[in-house]
Amino acid sequence: MIAPRGTIGILGGGQLGRMLVMAAAQMGYRCVVYAPGRDCVAAEVAGDFFNREWNDAGAMAAFAQQCDVITWEFENVPVEPLQPIAERLAPHPRALETAQDRLNEKRFVEQLGGRPAPYAPVDAPSDLAAAVERIGTPGILKTRRDGYDGKGQWRIGNARDAEGFSHTGEPLVYEGFVDFAAEFSVVLVRGRDGEVRYWDSAENVHQDGILATSTLPASDAVAGQVEEARALAKQVADALDYVGVLTLEFFATASGPVFNEMAPRVHNSGHWTIEGAATSQFENHIRAICGLPLGDTATIGASVTMENVIGKDAATAHECLADSAAHLHLYGKSAARKGRKMGHVTRVHRT
Ligand code: AMP
């Protein structure tokens, strides 16, 4: 167990890190953030900040020396520089390796009995025609690595779109377009002793590939599929001997839950848990990695909505507070670029 006053290292400097630091501070932990680049909003609330490149081995070693346990908030942290500090990491970096490549991730989940949309690797221009021929259209081409919030994705409506697609040579995966009734996620926490707890599954609505809202309770289309989805998520967590919060995203379809993707970290579709659940995803992630007992994940209230504040909307976001049920979270990011997640608003309704 990591005792309070211990130090937690966080790899990545975004809003997920910021909210992890805030939960850790509440329990008496000190956090140190390691992230390259600018606008590291997690560093603003942390005790120390290594603003260094991932492959700066000296800085990574100095960072690790300060930390009793190290976790990440960003799933594209390169795995190689983490090898020397692997024994201090929770979850284990094998979870990163699995989730960083969409193709590996789909194969891994399929081996455990999950059902992704039909897919095919596209490594060369000629592979796309064959993939479209086999899987059909419409479909979506996605980069295997480094995609997020709908970036690195191209809709292929018909065979002509496929012919016109100019391939840069980076590895891609083509997947069939899923005819879904709704989207939902399973957010779970797994402790060091293997105990697993789930939050209620929110129904998620995406716009332009970016999460717009999460709502609870979910519709009947989702509710009937949560049990099967949870069973798969637990298998994934057990197979990785996972410690912390893990998220799996699904499409609810007429033939059951179709696996979309996994995130080996706290997730935007779990932000509602800060005010909407007895214990938030952030607190339970900290509890899990520190070897503390897990907190109750029950939903508080009759309904909860979480709405993301995207781009320029941040300038007027405080207006939501005219509604006394609203809780505003702004992440302190400076540039309100189009499509950038700037904050979120959660509303918990007791009746
Ligand atoms: P992703 O980054 O892969 O989660 O994709 C972002 C969003 O795009 C998803 O949450 C869906 O709304 C949509 N999407 C992605 N892949 C598919 C698919 N194969 N079929 C239908 N919609 C998809």
CATH for the 182-349 domain, from 3.40.50.2300, 3.30.470.20, 3.60.20.30, 3.40.50.720? 3.30.470.20
The pTM assigned to this predicted structure is 0.97
Total H helices, total E strands in the chain: 10, 17
Q: What is the pLDDT of residues 126-180, one digit of tens each?
A: 899 999 999 999 999 999 998 777 778 899 998 888 888 887 778 999 999 999 9
Q: What is the pLDDT along the chain (351 residues), one digit of tens a residue?
A: 998 889 999 999 999 999 999 999 999 999 999 999 999 999 999 999 999 999 999 999 999 999 999 999 999 999 999 999 999 999 999 999 999 999 999 999 999 999 999 999 999 888 999 999 999 999 999 999 987 777 788 999 988 888 888 877 789 999 999 999 999 999 999 999 999 999 999 999 999 989 999 999 999 999 999 999 999 999 999 999 999 999 999 999 999 999 999 999 999 999 999 999 999 999 999 999 999 999 999 999 899 999 999 998 888 999 999 999 999 999 999 877 888 999 999 999 998
Question: Atom 8 in ligand 1: which residue has the minimum CA distance?
Answer: 209
- Per DSSP, helices labelled H in the chain are 15-26, 57-66, 94-99, 102-111, 125-135, 159-164, 220-223, 226-239, 273-276, 281-289
- State whether residue 349 is helix, strand or coil: strand
Angstrom CA distances, 276 to 199, 219, 246, stand at 10, 17, 18
Which CATH architecture group holds 118-176?
A: 2-Layer Sandwich (3.30)
Q: Is 206 in the pocket of ligand 1 (CB under 6 A)?
A: yes
* Closest C-alpha among 27, 18, 339 to residue 153: 339
Tell me how far the alpha carbon of residue 209 lies from the centroid of ligand 1, in angstroms. Answer: 6
Instruction: Identify the pLDDT of residue 149.
Output: 72
Q: Is 120 in the pocket of ligand 1 (CB under 6 A)?
A: no
Tell me how far the alpha carbon of residue 265 lies from the centroid of ligand 1, in angstroms. Answer: 19
- Asked, colleague to colleague, whether 7-89 and 118-176 share their fold, the answer is no
Which of 255, 260, 267 to mutate to test ligand 1, by most ligand atoms within 8 A of the CB atom? 260
Question: Atom 13 in ligand 1: which residue has the minimum CA distance?
Answer: 209
Q: What is the pLDDT of residues 176-210, one digit of tens each?
A: 999 999 999 999 999 999 999 999 999 999 999 89
Taking the domains of the chain in order of start, what are their residue ranges?
7-89, 118-176, 182-349
Instruction: Identify the pLDDT of residue 196.
Output: 98
Q: Is 210 in the pocket of ligand 1 (CB under 6 A)?
A: no
CATH number of 7-89: 3.40.50.20
Task: Answer yes or no: are the C-beta atoms of 85 and 69 closer than 8 Å.
Answer: no
* Closest C-alpha among 119, 88, 89, 87 to residue 101: 119
Q: Is 260 in the pocket of ligand 1 (CB under 6 A)?
A: yes
Q: Is 141 in the pocket of ligand 1 (CB under 6 A)?
A: no
Question: What DSSP string runs through 193-234?
Answer: T--EEEPPPPEEEEETTEEEEEEESPPHHHHTTHHHHHHHHH
